[in-house]
A = this chain, B = another copy of it.
Amino acid sequence: MSKSRSRVNSSQYRGKYKSIPDPFPVHKLKRVDRPTTRIKDYEVQRVSELDGGFQRANRGEFGSVIQKEYDRFVEKHPLSDSLLDMSKILASAVDGPIRTEKAPLLDDPHLLSNHVKEVAYFLRADLVGICELPPYAVFTHDRWKNEPIELKHKYAIGILIDQDWKTARAFNGSDWISNSMSFLGYSTSGFIACILANYIRKLGFPARAHHATNYQVVVPPILLWAGLGEMSRIGDTVLNPFLGPRFKAAIVTTDLPLAIDKPIDFGLQDFCQKCKKCAEYCPTQALSYGNKVWHNGYEKWPVDIARCTKNRVGNHKGSGCGTCIKVCPWNKPNTRIHNFVGWTMRKIPFARRFAAWGDEVLGYSKPKSKWKWWFDLEDVDGTLTIPKYTSKKLKKYKRRQTKKNKDE
């Protein structure tokens, strides 16, 4: 270690190890060596981004109606359309030149990890976690040019952005604001990831941002390894103990030498085994009521991708769908009472039995219509119209639909 480096340590970073950068009490979570989802690391096959549900919809695998709808399902509401535009602007900001000479930083991965988190929180991230980039989390091909992806970065930084509690409480799960909530998370986390990756490159280390309009990585396994959540019954969706499933993530991959976080265990595998609210409320019954199954090296609850995608893309009663996010008992605000309930759910297996029931009794699955602030609008051939299905009608529709599902 050079003399100048040790000078950096003593004069600049006093007390850094004692500080906890995270706004949520992540240091109180139980850490485990491996994700609570069983993964056969050497069996997981890398996938192409083109294998995803949305890309299959785009290719017409779910029929011509869905294929046509794919071109407008986000754009049909003016707010999600505007957020998507921003995501597209950020698509070109993921990578750039790296400073030739490295910055005089201390060779201390713990200090650098702490620093990276402090930067991300300064940039207004909600939660940050770091892991080694699992090789199977890199896509084989990108969706734009179908070109092979070679990404050899060693570390991945997960950045979570809340999709907004107030809106999640107000919406019915699949009405006109759903895609805006998704793209609020996508664009904001992408904005932060692009700045953070650029900063790391300016320090002299390779770094690339990955966000909704320009991914080279599969997000869920990164979030699992980075201790940002556990895999839930909502197919392929990672659930965070503080935000529930109400978030979207961007990733920064880098070779900056970092210390990694460990996966977390807050009892979700047991919880999701008992609670089946997401499966019950899913408008197209795409989620499983049953047990986990093995798929591509992961033991997880299965999801019917075709049903889920068809509903999100083809939903003519709204823009997108997040019903599973809406009704999940973990979708709660950051308040004392909810933090306490969250603590009991994490710590007391017995309490989990009552969570889904209590959540239902307290009416959290229903939209709180007095908090509704958005306009139900739909772009039809370039003209904004008041959609046929606005909230009141949707409620009636949903009641009929649920009844129908139960009868079947």
CB within 8 Å of B: which residues of A? 4, 7-8, 11-16, 18-19, 21, 78-79, 81-83, 85-86, 89-90, 93, 99-105, 114-115, 118-119, 122-124, 164, 166-167, 180, 184, 187-188, 191, 194-196, 198-199, 202-204, 369-377, 382-386, 390-392
Contact = CB atoms under 8 A, between A and B. Distances in A.
B123 A78 contact: no
B164 A122 contact: yes
Given A18-B370, A114-B373, A115-B374, 10 more contacts: A11-B392, A12-B376, A14-B369, A21-B373, A78-B103, A101-B382, A119-B374, A123-B184, A124-B188, A204-B384
Given A370-B15, A370-B19, A79 B386 contact: no
Given A115-B375, A184-B123, A373-B118, A198 B82 contact: yes
B78 A203 contact: yes
A210 B165 CA distance: 29
Given A78-B203, A373-B118, A373-B122, A198 B86 contact: yes
A383 B100 CA distance: 8
A101 B379 CA distance: 11
A122 B86 contact: no
Given A78-B202, A89-B89, A198-B86, A370 B4 contact: no
Contacts of A372: 12-14
A19 B99 CA distance: 50
A383 B86 contact: no
Contacts of A384: 99, 101-104, 202-204
Nearest to A96: B85
A229 to B, nearest CB: 21
Contacts of A198: 82, 85-86
A188 B16 CA distance: 27
Nearest to A383: B101
Given A8-B386, A86-B93, A202-B78, A375 B103 contact: yes
Nearest to A164: B122
A386 B372 CA distance: 51
Most B CB contacts (10 A, CB to CB) among A164, A180, A386 go to: A386
A370 B14 contact: yes
Given A12-B391, A375-B115, A191 B78 contact: no
30 contacts: A4-B386, A7-B386, A8-B386, A11-B391, A12-B375, A12-B390, A13-B372, A14-B372, A19-B370, A19-B373, A78-B99, A78-B103, A79-B119, A81-B202, A82-B196, A82-B198, A86-B93, A86-B194, A86-B198, A101-B384, A103-B375, A104-B377, A104-B384, A115-B374, A115-B375, A118-B374, A122-B164, A122-B184, A123-B184, A124-B124
Nearest to A117: B373
Given A19-B370, A93-B89, A373-B118, A195 B199 contact: no
Contacts of A12: 372, 375-376, 390-391
A195 B83 contact: yes
A59 B383 CA distance: 48
Contact of A105 (B19, B167, B203, B375): B375
Contact of A167 (B99, B122, B166, B391): B122
A195 B86 contact: yes
A167 B122 CA distance: 8
A188 B195 CA distance: 11
Nearest to A371: B19
A99 B377 CA distance: 14
A86 B19 contact: no
Contacts of A383: 101
Contacts of A19: 370-371, 373
